[in-house]
Amino acid sequence: NAGVTQTPKFQVLKTGQSMTLQCAQDMNHNSMYWYRQDPGMGLRLIYYSASEGTTDKGEVPNGYNVSRLNKREFSLRLESAAPSQTSVYFCASRDYAGPGSNQPQHFGDGTRLSIL
Amino acid sequence: GESVGLHLPTLSVQEGDNSIINCAYSNSASDYFIWYKQESGKGPQFIIDIRSNMDKRQGQRVTVLLNKTVKHLSLQIAATQPGDSAVYFCAGPSKAAGNKLTFGGGTRVLVKP
């Protein structure tokens, strides 16, 4: 059981290049999330998908787009990468059952992205 | 605004001693809180959670205490081991963010042999 798998693990881009980060989960979870983690800061939510077919903005969505391809896969796209998007990106999933549901999120091991 | 934050950025503890990691929150409407552990190069890993109608919850070598009066929660690790060296995050749902989790900045625990 792989859990949440993210690809690639590392990537270096030049400013202006585009990139899609891939995420897949095999736990049949309905909700999926994309976070970024910067030094000295906790995880900040970029976008999320409460269920297949829906996506919504999180705390820091500017410069990103997402696609919930199917129940398993949720991708994050940078259309024109900027140095400020240098970060570690984490994908997570959980079996969300509505407000008050405390099913924990399960995280992948991250994609380390550097933009020069 | 709503926030979940941690008092200390780094905690150094002797192997075998108990560790206490603290967290303050501002959203008194949170239904639950979660503690995550993040090892170097890995994603956050769920440790334990506590619902807001509880004061204490125990797991394997870990105990979480919730003090709703002062909006404070703590994670206690008994007999800290080298494998406990990691960054620990508290998180709670934010009403302002549609009940999505808000994470604190993290406390790094360093276990000295």
Q: Are B94 and B100 in contact (CB under 8 A)?
A: yes
Q: Which pLDDT score, from 0 to 100, does residue B1 have?
A: 37
Give the whole-angstrom CA distance, residue B62 versus residue B58.
Answer: 6
Average pLDDT, chain B: 88
Per-residue pLDDT band for B2 (boundaries 50, 70, 90) equals very low
Q: Using the predicted structure, report yes or no on whether residue B22 has a pLDDT greater than 90.
A: yes
Tokens describing residue A107: 């995280």
Say which amino acid occupies B46.
F
Whether the CB of B31 is below 8 Å from some CB of chain A: the reply is yes
Q: Using the predicted structure, report yes or no on whether residue B5 has a pLDDT greater than 60.
A: no
Residue of chain B nearest A41, judged by CA positions: B105
Per-residue pLDDT band for B111 (boundaries 50, 70, 90) equals very high
Q: Are A6 and A109 in contact (CB under 8 A)?
A: yes
Q: What angle do CA A94, B91, A103 make, to 5 degrees?
A: 25
Q: Using the predicted structure, report yes or no on whether residue A99 has a pLDDT greater than 60.
A: yes
User: Average pLDDT in the A93-106 region?
Assistant: 80
Q: Using the predicted structure, report yes or no on whether residue B4 has a pLDDT greater than 80.
A: no
Helix boundaries (H) for chain B: none
For the purposes of burial, counting CB atoms within 10 Å of the CB of A74, is it exposed (0-12), middle (13-18) or buried (19 or more)? Answer: buried
Q: Using the predicted structure, report yes or no on whether residue B109 has a pLDDT greater than 70.
A: yes
Nearest to B11 by CA among B76, B103, B94, B99: B76
Q: Which pLDDT score, from 0 to 100, does residue B25 have?
A: 86
Q: Using the predicted structure, report yes or no on whether residue B53 has a pLDDT greater than 60.
A: yes
- Contact A90/B44, CB-based, under 8 Å? yes
Q: Which pLDDT score, from 0 to 100, does residue B98 have?
A: 66
Q: For A43-91, how does the pLDDT look when each residue is reduced to its tens digit (9 = 90+)?
A: 999 999 989 999 999 999 999 999 998 999 999 999 999 999 999 999 9
Q: Which pLDDT score, from 0 to 100, does residue B23 have?
A: 92
- Contact A42/B106, CB-based, under 8 Å? yes
Q: Which pLDDT score, from 0 to 100, does residue A1 have?
A: 61
Lowest-confidence segment of A24-28, B2-6, B47-51 by average pLDDT? B2-6
Best mutation target among A105, A106, A112 (most B Cβ atoms within 10 Å) is A105
B56, B10, A89, B89: CA torsion to nearest 10: 10
Tokens describing residue A40: 């000295």
Give the whole-angstrom CA distance, residue B46 versus residue A20.
Answer: 27
Q: Are B107 and B21 in contact (CB under 8 A)?
A: yes
User: Average pLDDT in the B14-24 region?
Assistant: 95
Nearest to B80 by CA among B50, B113, B42: B113
Per-residue pLDDT band for A92 (boundaries 50, 70, 90) equals very high
Please report where in the chains the tokens 């991708």 appear, as a residue: A75
Give the whole-angstrom CA distance, residue A92 versus residue A107.
Answer: 4
- Contact B101/A45, CB-based, under 8 Å? yes
Say which amino acid occupies A54.
T
Radius of gyration of chain A (CA): 13
